[in-house]
């Protein structure tokens, strides 16, 4: 994604397969975009060069409607998204097993 970002594209189209690492490219782009939106929103809310205030504004994020669905930060700075992918290594490759719900 860093190489693509340096080209300053107006859009990204990937016509590949999962074997050519499409999944990682999409995750890197989806998470970077989500993070940037939250951080830019916090900067715009604070409107001054105050690192602590910006951090606090980021951590005060509640019910953010992003590409991952609505989420918030909890008191520990973790997101309210609690479902993760369960994977195992089979024949030297990662294989999806099931979604895992944290508690």
pTM of the model: 0.59
Q: What is the dihedral of CA 12, 34, 31, 69, to 10 degrees?
A: -110
The DSSP line for 37-98 is HHHHHHHHHH-SS-HHHHHHHHHT--SEEETTEEE-B-TTS-BS--EEEEEEEETTEEEEEE
Domain boundaries, the chain: 2-77
Q: Which pLDDT tens digit goes with each residue over 5-30?
A: 788 888 777 666 666 666 666 666 67
């Amino acid at each position: 994604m860093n190489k693509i970002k340096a080209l300053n594209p107006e859009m990204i189209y990937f016509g590949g397969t999962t074997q050519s690492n499409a999944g990682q490219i999409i995750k890197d782009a989806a998470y970077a975009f989500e993070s940037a939106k939250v951080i830019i929103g916090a900067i715009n809310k604070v409107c001054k060069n105050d690192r602590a205030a910006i951090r606090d504004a980021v951590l005060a994020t509640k019910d953010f409607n992003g590409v991952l669905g609505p989420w918030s930060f909890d008191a520990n700075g973790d997101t309210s998204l609690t479902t993760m992918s369960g994977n195992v290594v089979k024949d030297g490759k990662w294989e999806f097993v099931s979604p895992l719900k944290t508690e």
